[in-house]
């Protein structure tokens, strides 16, 4: 019997991809969620208001943009417009920051991916949790502030947002994984992604109503980023939940998550070579 060479045991014998699937995500949930929370705390560790600054800065930005664009667009109901704009920008913030962070994720985690046995999905889950925590703090602050302008928002939040919020969260995960893989494979992708997001933002009904696009409304219909944003905003503002569409979105996002996990496992030995 041939004695195995210690260095030959290497990567495959260590089996770093053990649990690359969803079972690993559930089994290590406390680890990646807590790791993300430590990053959140570290951002404002020396400030008085702490992570409240994320919600406050977002609220101030929304207030200024609402006044400026409300005046420029000559809106008839400024209060409703500010709510519409504020919720749209806040939700878009999760989508855009997840996409941008994903495009550089594996490059920034190169040392960990190359030198330890943690599977790549762990870093995707940690980044996803970090973005969700950042979004939650901004979202809660702006929702409470807007509730003073329209108390029905809180009732709509309790009754209607759970399924759209779940779909948004699942969408953010598989988009993050997709961006991470593309960013690892194509080095220019991280530079291109902010430009794409800026263009998508401008052609999405966030600063204006969908009717403002006129015949170009198809740009919103076939924009997956906007389709992830709109149901949550509509559920909050109008108290409207299209159950059939949301169930279909849940199926699509579930498939997206499973394909993302499959891709991470499939490409687990190529990632160190790409980065």
Give the pLDDT of residue 52. Answer: 67
Give the pLDDT of residue 14. Answer: 39
| Burial (CB count within 10 angstroms: exposed 0-12, middle 13-18, buried 19+), residue 90 | buried
The four Cα atoms 248, 250, 251, 254 give a dihedral, to 10 degrees, of 160
Cβ-based neighbours of 68, under 8 Å, separated by 6 or more: none
Q: How far apart are CA 16 and CA 131, in angstroms?
A: 25
Question: With a cut of 70, which residues of the chain have pLDDT below it?
Answer: 1-20, 45, 47-53, 55
The one-character DSSP state at 241 is: -
Nearest to 174 by CA among 212, 224, 209: 224
Give the pLDDT of residue 25. Answer: 82
Give the pLDDT of residue 51. Answer: 64
CA-CA distances (angstroms) from residue 244 to 65, 198, 222, 249?
34, 31, 18, 9
Give the pLDDT of residue 266. Answer: 86
Q: How far apart are CA 209 and CA 215, in angstroms?
A: 13
Give the pLDDT of residue 207. Answer: 81
Give the pLDDT of residue 15. Answer: 46
Mean of per-residue pLDDT scores for the chain:
82
Give the pLDDT of residue 167. Answer: 93
**Rg of the Cα atoms in the chain:** 21
Q: Assess contact for 102 and 180: CB atoms under 8 A.
A: yes
CA-CA distances (angstroms) from residue 72 to 75, 86, 207?
8, 16, 11
Alpha helices in the chain (DSSP H): 6-14, 22-27, 29-43, 52-72, 78-103, 105-108, 110-115, 120-147, 152-160, 162-185, 189-202, 218-221, 224-238, 243-266, 271-274
Give the pLDDT of residue 253. Answer: 93
Q: Which residues of 7-16 are buried (b: 16+ CB within 10 A; e: fewer)?
A: eeeeeeeeeb
Give the pLDDT of residue 251. Answer: 94
């Amino acid at each position: 019997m041939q004695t195995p060479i210690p260095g030959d045991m290497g990567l495959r014998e260590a089996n770093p991809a053990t649990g690359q699937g969803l079972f690993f995500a559930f089994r290590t949930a406390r680890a990646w969620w807590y790791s993300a929370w430590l990053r959140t705390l570290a951002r404002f560790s020396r400030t008085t208001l702490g992570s409240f600054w994320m919600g406050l800065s977002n609220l101030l930005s929304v207030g200024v943009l609402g006044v400026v664009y409300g005046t420029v667009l000559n809106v008839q109901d400024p209060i409703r417009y500010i709510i519409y704009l504020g919720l749209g920008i806040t939700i878009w913030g999760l989508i855009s920051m997840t996409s941008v962070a994903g495009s550089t994720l594996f490059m920034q985690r190169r040392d960990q991916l190359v030198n330890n046995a943690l599977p790549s999905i762990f870093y995707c889950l940690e980044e996803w949790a970090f973005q969700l925590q950042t979004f939650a703090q901004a979202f809660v602050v702006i929702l409470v502030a807007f509730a003073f302008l329209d108390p029905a928002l809180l009732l709509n939040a309790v009754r209607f947002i759970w399924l759209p919020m779940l779909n948004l969260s699942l969408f953010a995960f598989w988009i993050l994984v997709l961006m991470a893989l593309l960013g690892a494979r194509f080095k220019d992708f991280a530079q291109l992604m902010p430009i794409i997001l800026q263009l998508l933002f401008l052609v999405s009904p966030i600063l204006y109503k969908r009717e403002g696009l006129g015949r170009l409304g198809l740009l919103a219909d076939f924009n997956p980023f906007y389709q992830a944003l709109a149901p949550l905003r509509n559920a909050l503002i109008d108290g409207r939940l299209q159950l059939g569409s949301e169930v279909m979105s849940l199926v699509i996002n579930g498939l997206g998550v499973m394909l993302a996990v499959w891709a991470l496992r499939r490409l687990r030995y190529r990632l160190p070579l790409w980065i």
